[in-house]
Amino acid sequence: MIIGELAAYVCSWLNTNGIKCVLTGGACVSIYTGNKYLSYDLDFIDITYASRKEVKKILKKLGFSEKNRYFVHPETKYFIEFPAGPLSVGSEPIKDYLELKFNTGNLFLLSPTDSVKDRLAAYYHWNDLQALGQAIMVARSRKTDLNEIRRWSKTEGQFEKFNKIKCKLQAGKSKSGFSHNKS
């Protein structure tokens, strides 16, 4: 399975078992850029706040086992992580997310605009240049809202950094297959 198919499979399985998760991080970048950026880490934020024990029990039924803070499967190079919630980018909560349909299930994930903000948060707060590159890749691959990214950057206290990079964040073509969801 490609990353989106696996993420959708896991997301659907968790959702069927009462745990609703939203994909964030580098895996969103991989999906939105058609794997121009490769991530092997599926970062899911659990918006139902299930216990780790419950998550472990459900993933075990899919053949995943816990190794340190990750869940791994012997038949895939991808691994799953559950960073602490709430679902947010920087200091701002996320209320809307997208649903992408795969033949393996439905995947809830950050919108392209929120994915750019997620990557910019790492650049703004830790000077992570790789994350900046990922933000630019998503912005150029998918339709994003530059005005929203500007507003968010200002509330994060990063307006000066935003102004230095805004020309690199030119919105790309819109892609189909997305529907909005609210948490």
CA dihedral 70, 48, 102, 69 (to 10 degrees): 0
55 and 73 together in one domain:
yes
User: Residue 18: inside a domain, yes or no?
Assistant: yes
Q: How much is the pLDDT for 90?
A: 93
CATH number of the domain that 92 lies in? 3.30.460
One domain, residues 77 and 39: yes
Mean pLDDT of 73-97: 95
> 89 and 20 in one domain?
yes
Same domain membership, residue 92 and residue 56: yes
pLDDT of residue 25: 96
Residue closest to 177 by CA, chosen among 47, 4, 11, 13:
4
Q: What is the pLDDT of residue 173?
A: 42
| Domain end marker among 78, 109, 140 | 109
142 and 91 part of one domain: no
Q: DSSP class of residue 79?
A: E
Report the pLDDT value the prediction gives residue 175, as an integer from 0 to 100: 44
Domain count, the chain: 2
Q: Are 105 and 15 part of one and the same domain?
A: yes
What per-residue confidence (pLDDT) applies to 45? 98
Give pLDDT tens digits for 74-84. 999 999 999 99
Same domain, 99 and 116: no
User: Cβ distance 124 to 116 under 8 Å?
Assistant: no
At 89, phi and psi to the nearest 5? -125, 120
Q: Are 118 and 28 in contact (CB under 8 A)?
A: yes
Residue 65's pLDDT is: 97
Q: Is the peptide bond before 83 cis (omega within 30 degrees of 0)?
A: no
- The whole-chain average pLDDT of the chain stands at 92
- Considering only CA atoms, which of 34, 47, 16, 37 is closest in space to residue 109? 47
Same domain, 17 and 82: yes
> pLDDT per residue over 150-180, tens digit each?
999 999 999 999 999 999 997 544 443 343 4
Same domain, yes or no: 100 and 130: no
Q: For residue 86, which of 26, 122, 45 has the smallest C-alpha distance?
A: 45
**122 and 103 in a common domain:** no
For residues 53 and 40, membership in a common domain is answered with yes
Residues 21-43 pLDDT 10s: 999 999 999 999 999 999 999 99
CA distance linking residue 128 with residue 18, whole number of Å: 35
Q: Which of 87, 109, 131 is the last residue of a domain?
A: 109
Position 179 scores a pLDDT of 37
pLDDT value, residue 71: 98
**Amino acid type, 20:** K
Closest to 177 measured CA to CA, from 111, 95, 83: 111
Q: Which of 79, 109, 139 is the last residue of a domain?
A: 109
* Gap between the Cα atoms of 9 and 15, Å rounded: 10
Q: Provide the residue range defining the domain that includes 19.
A: 3-109
pLDDT band at 183 (very low <50, low <70, confident <90, very high): very low
Kindly state the tokens that stand for 29.
């970048």
Tell whether 183 is covered by a domain.
no
pLDDT average, residue stretch 50-58? 96
The fraction of the chain above a pLDDT of 70, given in percent, is: 92
pTM to 2 decimals? 0.90
Exposed/middle/buried for 24, CB within 10 Å: 0-12, 13-18, 19+?
Answer: buried
In a domain, 78, yes or no: yes
Average pLDDT over residues 107-131: 97
